[in-house]
């Protein structure tokens, strides 16, 4: 898992990587300008990392910043 995390962190579009418990091992937040750019990052970078067997993608529709 350390190699997968290190490879993800080298991708410029990856904003943050979390090691998590549960159904998945890693969650990566990816920031892109378009769905096409996301497809390219996923297909050409993320899915080529040795150790990644599958992915599940969710798209953020709206962010609600904390108001402290």
Let me know the angle formed at the C-alpha of 55 by 52 and 61, rounded to the nearest 5 degrees: 145
Q: Are 11 and 41 in contact (CB under 8 A)?
A: yes
Under the banding of pLDDT at 50, 70 and 90, the label for residue 68 is confident
Alpha helices in the chain (DSSP H): 2-9, 35-44
CATH fold for the domain made of 2-48:
Alpha-Beta Plaits (3.30.70)
Tens digits of residue pLDDT in 14-27? 999 999 999 999 99
Q: 10 Å Cβ neighbour count for 51?
A: 12
For residue 59, which of 26, 34, 40 has the smallest C-alpha distance?
Answer: 34
Tens digits of residue pLDDT in 8-63? 999 999 999 999 999 999 999 999 999 999 999 999 999 999 999 999 999 999 99
- What is the reported pLDDT for 23? 92
């Amino acid at each position: 898992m350390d190699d997968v995390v290190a490879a993800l962190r080298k991708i410029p579009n990856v904003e943050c990587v979390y090691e998590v418990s549960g159904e998945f091992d890693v969650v990566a937040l990816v920031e892109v300008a378009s769905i096409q750019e996301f497809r390219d990052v996923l297909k050409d970078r993320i899915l080529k990392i040795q150790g990644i067997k599958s992915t599940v993608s969710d798209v953020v529709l709206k962010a609600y910043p904390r108001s402290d």
